[in-house]
Structure 1
Amino acid sequence: MNKQQSKKELELVQNADLPKCDTHLVHLDNVRLIQTQILSSDQAQQMAEIFGILADPNRLRLISALASQELCVCDLAALTKMTESAVSHQLRLLKAMRLVNYRREGKNVYYSLADHHIINLYSSLKEHLNE
């Protein structure tokens, strides 16, 4: 996390006037019920790493292009107005997190989103933004 991002988050927290409970009372039934459903520390770490990779506008633009269909690096570079080298770098990061797959066809390499979970995640977030 960079300093500018940390500063923005700190400002949000300081400016938030959120309501709080007037008394400190733990509802044990609720805690016990949710305790089996909460993410483990390892799962939370893995999710944080994926969200960290997705926190880049260029990578999100690549994902948005791949949400429609499989594309080669040349097509992705043209669509995003990035160099092929930059696109390849971003795709390497996405592949390392298992968010994209690729296949070779002759001298071309075609990329696609890894599975329907990634497509659903992208589609849900896009829908949320459009509300």
Structure 2
Amino acid sequence: MPGGAGRTVCGVYEVHPERVEKARATLPQEGTLEKAALLLKALADPTRMRLLLALKGAGELCVCDLALLAGVSVSAVSHQLRFLRTARLVAFRREGKQVYYRIADAHVEALLEGALAHATEDT
């Protein structure tokens, strides 16, 4: 292969201004890109995915339930939930001293479904 195993190399340096402008016009603002990257980073961890999928399946769970399901400590779950809250993937409500978490909205459910569908499809 040109350029080494598995690498693709452009044989001719040629810029296509119309395509570049078309692509540039579709790019969101920098802040939106950063939020989207944070969201995808949040989904890139197996423990966080497990927590999100458990919430998707159950609708709402407390930290202790999530720790049991994920097989990690309550402290570890709390840390991951803070990350997921920052990425706006989960929401919560308090009931006395108990805090219950849920998937933030339908967009998050769609992301999870799409990720699983893509991961399980034949290549």
For the superposition of Structure 1 and Structure 2, which TM-score range results when normalised by the shorter chain?
Answer: 0.7 to 0.9
C-alpha deviation, 1:15, in angstroms: 4.4
Total equivalences in the alignment: 117
Q: Mind listing any 5+ residue stretches in structure 2 that lack a counterpart? A: none
Q: Mind listing any 5+ residue stretches in structure 1 that lack a counterpart? A: 1-13
Task: Spell out, residue by residue over 1:23-49, the C-alpha distance to the aligned partner (whole angstroms, 9 max, x if none).
Answer: 222222222222210233333222222
C-alpha deviation, 1:76, in angstroms: 0.8
What amino acid sits opposite 1:84 in the alignment? V
Q: With the length of structure 2 as denominator, give the TM-score of the two structures.
A: 0.81
RMSD across aligned positions (CA): 1.9
- CA distance, structure 2, for counterparts of residue 40 and residue 88 of structure 1: 31
Structure 1 runs (4+) greater than 4 angstroms displaced: none
C-alpha deviation, 1:56, in angstroms: 2.0
Q: With the length of structure 1 as denominator, give the TM-score of the two structures.
A: 0.77
The correspondence for 2:52, drawn from 60, 63, 71, is: 63
**Percent identity over the alignment?**
42
C-alpha deviation, 1:62, in angstroms: 0.5
- 2:61 and 2:102 in contact (8 A); partners too: yes
C-alpha deviation, 1:16, in angstroms: 2.3
What residue is the counterpart of 2:25 in the other structure? 36
